[in-house]
Amino acid sequence: MTDPAQRTLGIVAGGGDLPREIIAACRARGQNFFVLALDGQADADITEGVPHARHRMGAAGAIFESLRTAGVQDVVFAGKVKRPSLLSVAPDVRGAAFIARIGLKAFGDDGLLRAIAEEFEREGFVLRSVPDVLALGGSAPEAGPLGQHKPMRGPKPIL
């Protein structure tokens, strides 16, 4: 497999600053990327000046087509996403087939997220974690304490 930093990264963007941090890390290392902004979830300005598409969450067919057309090989999920009601998702044919296949998994957050991840992998995309993607650009913190105070050794005395 080629170096992940040389592959096109698809950033499935929800709200908040995390998608911007990943975009900045990609730019810093010269990595090609494509932002797939989730309608009603991603910040309105996240797509300014970057290669992108914007789709509703239920448009699975259009989402996968946009990612493929952009040459995306790896995908990272970044940002806040509020769970919509099943009726508001308005799935396309591909999305409806996905919902029918996962069945009861759709009722638990963990099961739903795992099913979505598996679907992206089934479509041929390599999923990347946020820490891995940020580490490629040197943005991840080093191992060890992140604040001024270090953990105490042994149990804390009870007064």
- Reference 72, options 89, 51, 100; nearest CA is 51
Find the angle CA(33)-CA(1)-CA(9) to the nearest 5 degrees.
10
Pick 100 or 122 by higher pLDDT. Answer: 122
Average pLDDT over residues 29-54: 94
Other CB atoms closer than 10 Å to residue 47's CB: what's the count? 17
pLDDT of residue 94: 79
Pick 21 or 58 by higher pLDDT. Answer: 21
pLDDT of residue 108: 64
pLDDT band at 66; cut points 50, 70, 90: very high
DSSP bridge partners of 61: none
Domains annotated for the chain, with CATH where assigned, are: 4-136 (3.40.50.20)
Give the tokens for residue 77.
Answer: 């999920």
Pick 91 or 26 by higher pLDDT. Answer: 26
pLDDT of residue 87: 66
pLDDT band at 17; cut points 50, 70, 90: very high
Pick 134 or 140 by higher pLDDT. Answer: 134
Whole-angstrom distance, CA of residue 129 vs CA of residue 131: 6
Q: What do you get for the CA distance between the two ends of the chain, in Å?
A: 56
**What torsion, rounded to 10 degrees, do the Cα atoms 123, 129, 130, 133 define?**
-80
pLDDT of residue 30: 93
| 96 has pLDDT over 90 | no
Average pLDDT over residues 87-100: 74
pLDDT of residue 151: 72
Total number of residues shown for the chain: 159
Q: Using DSSP, how many helices (H) and how many strands (E) does the chain show?
A: 6, 5
Q: State the chain's mean pLDDT as an integer.
A: 84
